[in-house]
A and B are shown apart, each in its own frame.
Chain A
Amino acid sequence: MSRASALLLNVRVIWALVLREIITRYGRENIGFLWLIVEPMLFTGGIAISWSFFASLHGHRIGVLEFAVTGYSSILLWRNCANRAVNGVQPNFDLLYHRRVKVLDVLVARCLLEIASATLSFVVLTVAFVFLDMMPAPRDLMQVMIAWFFLAWVSVAIALVVAALSEMSDLVERVWHVATYLFFPLSGALFMVDWLSPAMQKVVLWIPMVHGLEMLRGGYFGPSIRTLFSVEYLFLFCGICTYLGLLLVKVMSRRVVRK
């Protein structure tokens, strides 16, 4: 089989898995697959609006709503990717009977669906709030898109590692759920790095999501805020983590058994 037709086959398998995943998750009842967008929109939109009532960012020249929308949208991205990938193989085990369906395809399909869901929700919410004049439009759309791309990449890379490990040991799932909650505030949703003490800045700048979100907000708010991030660090983290993830998935898929 040539490389091009092998690639085409992969795309076909992943697409079939995505469509299947949509049906198993959302079914054909009521609004069906629209839940894919509505669910994260309700979450982010709900939190953002309640924040804009109860919280204030005195002394900072940015609005609460856009701060919350950017923050929670990116949390949804990495959290949902990893959560869906953890123990993501077992429910699809029967499909691995088809030689063409690989463990990696199953995980990639799940991540793609989460990325699509988080991205669409982010876009629709932003457009809606901007249109309703509740928040300003992004200043530098290109930077926002590049940052979003990096955040999605970080999410997939982490998801692959966590998914592979969770298949090898049950402990990982429990640890990961605790870690998700700990990273919830740490991932940058609740602060700008500039607001922290230099010592704290050093700590949080180890977290790749912080870099992605700083970049995203830098693009959204423009030069009115000071952002601290390194594209090199993001790139390096994504590269190494993806490599590690693929390696672990390869090892795991050779020994995966039905539980």
Chain B
Amino acid sequence: MITCVNLTKKYKTRSGFNVCIDDVSFSVQKGERLGILGKNGSGKSTLIRLIAGVDAPTSGHVKREMSVSWPLAFDGGFQGSLSGIDNIKFVSRIYGMDFKTCRDFVSDFSELGKSLWEPVKHYSSGMRSRLAFALTLSVDFDCVLIDEVISVGDSRFQQKCHDELFVKRPERSIILVSHHHDVVERYCTHAAVLKAGKLTICSDISSAYEEYENNA
């Protein structure tokens, strides 16, 4: 289980403090797939970074009782000047996994082929996302954090992600933030809405959609 207790994140700006996440509490059980809907600037990415432990909250805390992935997002997680292979090496080292197993999985899943030997900074955003997906899935976390990037690649790649995330390991938890309600509807079991840093937990996904559309 992951429990967030009174999470608050403030950033210092030129005009005083900007409260990005405002006293957010919730928990995610094993196997639960929580979709958090939020418009641009509502604090989605900040929240996912707090859950991941990338950023420290200003107050409150996150209790992680299962292994939690890094945020699967459009940026971050890779050293741009290193090749895909060297990034795989680094990740396999810090998570204590066998490099060859990791590499074979990533190479097979991402279908990046020879590009894996090129520096990541030369990748297109689609290639980057494919590498990020493959790498995250190769570590086998109990809970995967996804920041918007669920729909990357062509339909075949999307099918692969879907199979890996929902069919092969259905007991895996997911926390997904997005501004697309159809993504949340398609993938999640639970839903919440984030508005100006405040989180509203909704009883079901259609009520989350209503909340999201009406009171934005």
Report whether chain A binds chain B: yes
Chain A interface residues toward B at CB < 8 A: 9, 12-13, 15-16, 19-20, 23-24, 92-101, 253-254, 257
CA distance A19 to B94 in the complex (A): 11
Rounded to whole angstroms, the CA-CA distance of A13 and B92 in the bound complex is: 10
Q: Which of B53, B68, B78 contacts A94 (CB 8 A)?
A: B78
Whether A94 lies near B76 (C-beta < 8 A) is yes
Q: Which residues of B contact A92 (CB under 8 A)?
A: 79
Assign chain B's interface to a size class.
20 to 34
Contacting pair A16 B90 (CB below 8 A): yes
> B83 — nearest CB in chain A belongs to which residue?
A23
Known: A97-B77, A98-B70. A24 touches B82 (CB 8 A): yes
> Do the beta carbons of B54 and A96 come within 8 Å of each other?
yes
Q: Which 6 A-B residue pairs are closest in the complex by CB-CB distance? A: A16-B93, A99-B53, A97-B77, A97-B76, A254-B56, A97-B70
Query: Which applies to chain B's interface (DSSP): helix, strand, loop or mixed?
Result: loop
- Asked if B143 lies at the interface with its beta carbon under 8 angstroms from chain A, I say no
Question: Which of B81, B91, B93 contacts A19 (CB under 8 A)?
Answer: B93
Instruction: Say yes or no: B93 contacts A99, CB within 8 Å.
Output: no
- Chain A CB within 8 A of B52 CB: yes
User: For residue B53, which residues in chain A have a CB less than 8 angstroms away from its CB?
Assistant: 99
B interface, CB within 8 angstroms of A: 11, 52-54, 56, 68, 70-71, 75-82, 86, 89-91, 93-96
Closest approach, in angstroms, between the C-beta of A33 and any C-beta of chain B? 13
| Choice from B68, B78, B79, B96 contacting A99 with Cβ under 8 Å | B68
CA distance A24 to B82 in the complex (A): 7
Given contacts A9-B96, A92-B79, A94-B80, 8 further A-B contacts (CB under 8 A): A16-B93, A19-B90, A19-B93, A23-B86, A94-B78, A97-B70, A98-B91, A99-B52
- CB nearest neighbor in B for A9: B96
Q: Give Cα A15–Cα B89 distance, bound, in whole angstroms.
A: 12
C-alpha gap A101/B94 in the complex (Å):
8
Residues of chain B within 8 A of A97, CB atoms compared: 52, 54, 70-71, 76-77
In the complex, 25 of the A-B residue pairs with CB atoms within 8 angstroms, ordered by the A residue number, are A13-B94, A15-B93, A16-B93, A16-B94, A20-B79, A20-B82, A23-B82, A23-B86, A24-B81, A92-B79, A94-B75, A94-B76, A94-B77, A94-B79, A95-B77, A95-B90, A96-B54, A97-B71, A97-B76, A98-B77, A99-B52, A101-B94, A253-B56, A254-B56, A257-B11
